[in-house]
């Protein structure tokens, strides 16, 4: 009788611990789903901010408010930070902008450019100007296409804790 009573008590304890372990696993699963949702929303919000900046840069390039070489550097670099499904293979999808970026990316800018010898600075200007002139129409078309592509994705996402 004592053995039967101990076996029943042991079974009840094991059943209780198994139920509690199942409950904890269910809570862990819910927590992971919630973390995934928050991560997805954070990526969408970050991408929306990036797309807002890209939209502004495209508009400046289309309207001629900034050099195309400067636009290509900024857009190429900022689009590298896009995450998730919205990521763009810039070299393949926007070849003219990518080509101009690769031509001017290593050229000195700002104070470093001012410290260059005048002849070397003029050579860089000539090379940059030739590339901008040759790729001008294609880059403007690509900027319009990129602007259309990021505009519908540029929605502000409010993240609320659940």
Check residue 162 and give its pLDDT: 55
Task: Name the percent of the chain lying above pLDDT 70.
Answer: 93
pLDDT of residue 157: 53
**Residue 110: pLDDT over 80:** no
Per residue in 67-80, pLDDT tens? 888 999 999 999 88
Cβ atoms 162, 34 nearer than 8 A: yes
Specify the long-range contacts of residues 47-50, CB closer than 8 Å, at least 24 apart.
47/82, 47/83, 47/84, 47/86, 47/153, 48/153, 48/154, 48/155, 48/156, 48/157, 50/78, 50/79, 50/81, 50/82
Confidence of residue 32 (pLDDT cuts 50, 70, 90): very high
Q: Is the pLDDT of residue 133 over 70?
A: yes
pLDDT at 160: 57
When pLDDT is averaged across residues 23-43 and rounded to a whole number, the result is 93
Average pLDDT over the chain reads 86
Cα R_g (the chain), whole angstroms: 28
Q: What integer is the mean pLDDT of 41-65? A: 89
Least confident of 8-22, 32-46, 65-79, 139-153: 139-153
């Amino acid at each position: 009788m004592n053995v039967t009573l101990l076996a029943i008590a042991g079974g009840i304890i094991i059943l209780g611990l198994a139920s509690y372990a199942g409950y904890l696993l269910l809570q862990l699963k819910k927590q992971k789903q919630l973390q995934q949702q928050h991560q997805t929303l954070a990526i969408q919000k970050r991408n929306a901010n990036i797309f807002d900046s890209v939209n502004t840069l495209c508009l400046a390039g289309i309207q001629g408010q900034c050099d195309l070489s400067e636009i290509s550097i900024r857009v190429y670099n900022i689009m590298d930070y896009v995450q998730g499904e919205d990521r763009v293979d810039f070299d393949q999808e926007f070849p003219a902008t990518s080509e101009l970026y690769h031509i001017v990316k290593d050229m000195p800018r700002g104070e470093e450019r001012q410290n260059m010898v005048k002849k070397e600075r003029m050579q860089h200007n000539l090379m940059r100007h030739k590339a901008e002139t040759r790729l001008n129409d294609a880059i403007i078309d690509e900027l319009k296409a990129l602007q259309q592509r990021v505009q519908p994705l540029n929605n502000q996402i409010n993240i609320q804790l659940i």
